[in-house]
């Protein structure tokens, strides 16, 4: 359903992919990405690849979905398969465009 992210993981979007530093939350903590650092790198996202600290990239946005894993209708494994990775292609094949509001 289109309200999944706002309803179950309203704070999941923590930044965008870019050339800058960003990151550093750990244990499911959200990281605020400031205006001047250019975003979060894929290398930083890759560090958050466990059930206890799970980030994914969808359409250029970095999502901390750690707290959402147990709520995901498709099960935890559907997300954990892409923990620390760009899940855009797979996400867009399955979900309607408005699941994550702009």
Output the DSSP codes for 13-80: EEEEB-SS------TT------TTS--B-HHHHHT-EETTEEEEEETTEEEE-GGGGGG-TT-HHHHH
**CATH at 33:** 3.10.120.10
> pTM surpassing 0.85?
no
Which residue segment(s) compose the domain that 60 sits in?
4-94
Q: Quick one: pLDDT at residue 4? A: 57
Within-domain flag for 15: yes
Q: Quick one: pLDDT at residue 32? A: 40
Instruction: Output the DSSP codes for 60-76.
Output: TEEEE-GGGGGG-TT-H
Q: Quick one: pLDDT at residue 21? A: 45
- Given a contact cutoff of 8 angstroms between Cβ atoms, the answer to whether 40 and 57 are in contact is no
pLDDT in tens, the chain (102 residues): 455 566 667 788 898 998 554 444 443 433 444 444 679 999 999 999 999 999 999 888 899 999 989 988 889 999 999 999 999 898 888 876 666 665
Within-domain flag for 100: no
């Amino acid at each position: 359903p289109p309200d999944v992210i706002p309803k179950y993981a309203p704070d999941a979007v923590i930044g965008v992919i870019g050339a800058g530093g960003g990151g550093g939350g750990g244990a499911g903590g959200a990281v605020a990405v400031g205006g001047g650092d250019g975003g979060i790198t894929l290398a930083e996202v890759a560090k958050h690849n466990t059930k206890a600290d799970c980030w994914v990239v969808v359409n250029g946005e970095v999502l901390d979905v750690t707290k959402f894993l147990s709520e995901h209708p498709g099960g935890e494994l559907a997300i954990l398969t892409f923990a620390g990775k760009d899940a855009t292609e797979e996400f867009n094949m399955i979900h309607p465009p408005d699941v994550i509001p702009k």
